[in-house]
Amino acid sequence: GAVVSQHPSRVICKSGTSVKIECRSLDFQATTMFWYRQFPKKSLMLMATSNEGSKATYEQGVEKDKFLINHASLTLSTLTVTSAHPEDSSFYICSAKGTGYNEQFFGPGTRLTVL
C-alpha cells in the first residue's frame, strides 16, 4: 500500500515555457503533500508543503509565483514551474502523508531539463 506516482518522469522544455508536474496518491488520501528539489548527489530541499484545499506554505527563498502549487483533491497535487529557465533544471520529488500514517511516501521524481 501507500503508493505515490508522479507524472511525467522526465520533461524537457524550452526556456520561457511553463511545465506542470503531477503528484498522485494512488491508494490513500493525502492530507498533506510535500514538494522537494534535489540537485545531483545532494540532499532533498523542501520547497513547499500543501494541504488539500488550502494555499501552500513555501519555504524561505522559494518563489511562490515561480513554483505554483495546487492541492485540489486528497489524491492530487500539482507543481507548475512558470517561465522556466535553465537554472530551474533539477529533479523534483513529491511526497504524501495521510491521516494515521507516521511517515511520508515518496513519488519516483521528475527530471526537468530546461533548454
24 near another protein (CB under 8 A): no
Amino acid at 31: T
Question: From the list 1, 43, 86, 87, which residue makes contact with another protein (rule: CB under 8 A)?
Answer: 43
DSSP 22-57: EEEESSS-EEEEEEEEE-TTS-EEEEEEEETTS--E
**Phi/psi at 59 (5° precision):** -75, 160
Q: Which stretch binds another protein (CB under 8 A): 17-25, 73-81, 82-90, 97-105?
A: 97-105
| Residue with smaller CB distance to another protein, 16 or 108 | 108
Q: Which residues of 78-112 are buried (b: 16+ CB within 10 A; e: fewer)?
A: bbebeebeeebbbbbbbbbbbeeeeebbbbebbeb
Q: Out of 21, 23, 28, 31, point to the residue binding another protein (CB under 8 A).
A: 31
With CB under 8 A as the contact rule, the residue among 5, 49, 89, 113 that binds another protein is 49
Residue whose CB is less far from another protein, 78 or 90: 90
The stretch among 14-22, 61-69, 80-88, 106-114 that binds another protein (CB under 8 A) is: 106-114
